[in-house]
């Protein structure tokens, strides 16, 4: 049964700092997410949403517990192995876009494909940018793009390698309502088209309502796990 989950985490803990300054951020999180699911992660600030996403995506190493992502044991991997494990398997979209400022839109999207050693990375990147409606912005640098366009590049960058797992951390947090809606439409469309599993952190109930499942976090634990519709 365990093998069918893209995310299979149990008793995950994360503590930062040491001694008197030690803070328990995740306090025994258990989570299983099946392939193709879309999951919204809700919760107040400081509840541990972003930290959970960080340990699940391998950006942070959990202090304890077990994490298996697409079959790989993330708790047993070092920093570089985690980087390799992300290649082509995990896509991440962040609130602040985090594009590489010295690269064009096309190059930004091609980077994960190149790192994963894919054939024809620029052709794939071009197709992906066209799919997100930025076929006319291929040679633009991030500073020459609007916030919405930058986030579309970030989505294209995350989805271009066809990852099994797509993380998004408040992807519309830096955008106006209309652009945010368009970006969400795009995100869900790309998720559907690629068949990826989506885990999205949000404060927005409307976004949560579009996901198949909603997790609510509180004090470093998943306090509620509900299925939509």
Partner 1 sequence: MVEGFSGAEGPSTMLRMVPLPCKCSGGFLSLPLRLALRDLRGGLAGLRLLAICLFLGVLALAGVGSLASAITASLAERGQEILGGDVQLTVSQREAGPTELAALAREGRVSHITRMRAMAARLDGSESVLVELKGVDEAWPLYGTFRLRPGAPAERPRGGQVAVGPELAERLGVRVGERIRVGNAELQVVGLIAQEPDRVGQGFTLGSTALVDRAGLAATGLVQPGSLYTSAYRIQLRPGADAKAVAGRLGKSFGPSGFQVLDRTNGAPGTRRFIERLGQFLTLVGLTALIVAGIGVGNGVASYLDGKRASIATLKLLGATSRTLFLSFLFQVGLVAFAATIAGLAAGALVPAAVVALAGDSLPVPPRLALYWQPLLASAAYGLLIAAVFALVPIARARTVPAATLFRGDLEPSRWPGKAAVLIVLAAAAAIAGLAVGTAREPAFAAGFIGSALGLVLLLTLLGGLIRWTASRLPRPANPVFRIALANLHRPGAQTGRLVVALGLGLTLFTTLAVIESNLSGQMRTTIPAKAPSFFMLDIPVEEIGRFRTLASSAAPQGELVTIPSLRGSVVAVKGRRVADMGEIPPEAWFLRGDRGLTYSAALPEGSRIVAGRWWPSDYSGPPLVSLDVEAARAVGLGVGDPIAVSILGREIEARIASLREIDWDSMGFNFVIVFAPGTLESAPHSFMATISMPEAQERPFARAVSSAFPSVSAIRVKEVVETVSAMLSQLAVAVRAAASVAILAGIAVLVGALAASRRARTYDSVILKMLGATRGRILAAQAAEFAALALVVSLVALGLGSAAGWWVVVKIFELDWAPDWGTVGATLALGAVVTLVLGLAGALPALAARPARALRTL
Q: Which residues bind partner 1 (CB under 8 A)?
A: 50-51, 54-55, 59-60, 79-80, 83-84, 86-88, 92, 94, 98-103, 107, 110-112, 114-116, 143, 157
Instruction: Give the nearer residue to partner 1 in terms of CB position, either 30 or 59.
Output: 59
Instruction: Give the nearer residue to partner 1 in terms of CB position, either 93 or 214.
Output: 93
**Furthest-apart CA pair in the chain: how many Å?**
54
Instruction: Give the nearer residue to partner 1 in terms of CB position, either 82 or 208.
Output: 82
Instruction: Give the nearer residue to partner 1 in terms of CB position, either 132 or 214.
Output: 132
Distance separating the N- and C-terminal Cα atoms of the chain: 24
For residue 92, the minimal CB distance to partner 1 (Å) is 6
For residue 136, the minimal CB distance to partner 1 (Å) is 21
For residue 77, the minimal CB distance to partner 1 (Å) is 12
For residue 66, the minimal CB distance to partner 1 (Å) is 19
Which residue stretches of the chain are H helix? 49-56, 79-86, 105-115, 121-131, 147-159, 177-194, 205-210
Task: Decide: 2 and 34 in contact? Cβ < 8 Å.
Answer: no
Task: Decide: 215 and 31 in contact? Cβ < 8 Å.
Answer: yes
According to DSSP, residue 195 is labeled T
For residue 97, the minimal CB distance to partner 1 (Å) is 10
Instruction: Give the nearer residue to partner 1 in terms of CB position, either 21 or 79.
Output: 79
Q: What angle do CA 44, 48, 52 make, to 5 degrees?
A: 135
């Amino acid at each position: 049964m365990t093998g069918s989950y893209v995310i299979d985490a149990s008793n995950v803990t994360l503590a930062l700092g040491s001694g008197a300054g030690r803070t328990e951020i995740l306090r025994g999180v258990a989570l299983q997410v099946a392939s193709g699911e879309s999951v919204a992660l809700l919760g107040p600030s400081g509840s541990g949403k972003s930290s959970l996403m960080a340990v699940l995506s391998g950006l942070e190493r959990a202090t304890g517990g077990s994490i298996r992502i697409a079959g790989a044991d993330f708790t047993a991997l070092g920093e570089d192995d985690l980087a390799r494990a992300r290649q082509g398997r995990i896509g991440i979209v962040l609130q602040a876009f985090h594009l590489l400022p010295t690269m064009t839109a096309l190059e930004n999207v091609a980077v994960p494909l190149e790192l994963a050693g894919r054939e024809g990375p620029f052709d794939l990147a071009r197709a992906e940018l066209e799919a997100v409606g930025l076929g006319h912005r291929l040679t633009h640098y991030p500073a020459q793009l609007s916030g919405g366009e930058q986030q579309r590049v970030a989505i294209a960058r995350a989805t271009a390698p066809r990852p099994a797992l797509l993380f998004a951390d408040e992807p519309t947090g830096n955008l106006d309502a209309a652009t945010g809606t368009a970006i969400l439409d795009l995100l869900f469309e790309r998720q559907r088209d690629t068949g990826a599993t989506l885990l999205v952190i949000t404060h927005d109930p409307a976004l949560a309502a579009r996901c198949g499942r909603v997790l609510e976090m509180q004090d470093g634990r998943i306090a509620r796990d509900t299925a939509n519709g």
